[in-house]
Amino acid sequence: MYRDIVDFALTTPGWLHTLAEVGTDAGLFLFVALFAAAAFRAWRAPARDLALVIAGPAGVVFAYVVSEVVKTVVREQRPCRGGITTISACPPAGDWSFPSNHSVIAAGAAATLVLAWRALAWVALPLAALMAFSRVFVGVHYPHDVAAGFLLGLVLAPLFALLVVGAVTPAVRLARR
């Protein structure tokens, strides 16, 4: 499946290559903007709503740290190391493939945003899926790297956010006084 996707990607127009390469990182900034919008929306809402927005990025960081630990244990080589022509340059040796950190971050951000503001689901979840797929499209991850990363982010980030929201809510109340 990896080869099929990468081979197809190479037949697409150059502008799509650029969009996929830039979009895989730029999408992370879109999530920052969505968190800012959610915080603005929750600013005058009940304290727990703002606490969920604040806890969301903490959940994403937690999921990212877990994925980094998994990467160092699994140590899977990137698929682009096998002499395959890809859109993106292959990351340096020692930058492991499994799981995809971009997928962890994108899915974690989307899931925690949906916790804080359900109406964002229609934009956050497809954006996360597109960002995750782009990692295979540009050739730097296998599909299972992306799927595992997506699942890690989707589960761990909102779980962590829900675990810490009880501690963050009193801090929000205190800061509002």
Q: Could you read off the pLDDT tens digit of each residue along the chain, which spans 177 residues?
A: 888 888 787 888 888 888 888 888 888 899 999 999 999 998 888 888 889 999 999 999 999 999 999 999 999 988 888 778 778 888 888 888 899 999 999 999 999 999 999 999 999 999 999 999 999 999 889 999 999 999 999 999 999 999 999 888 888 888 877
Classify 83 in phi/psi space as left (phi over 0), alpha (psi -120 to 50) or beta. left
Q: Model's pTM, two decimal places?
A: 0.89
Q: Determine how many CB atoms are found less than 10 A away from the CB of residue 45.
A: 13
Q: Is 85 exposed, middle or buried (0-12, 13-18, 19+ CB in 10 A)?
A: exposed
Distance from C-alpha of 114 to C-alpha of 11, rounded to nearest angstrom = 35
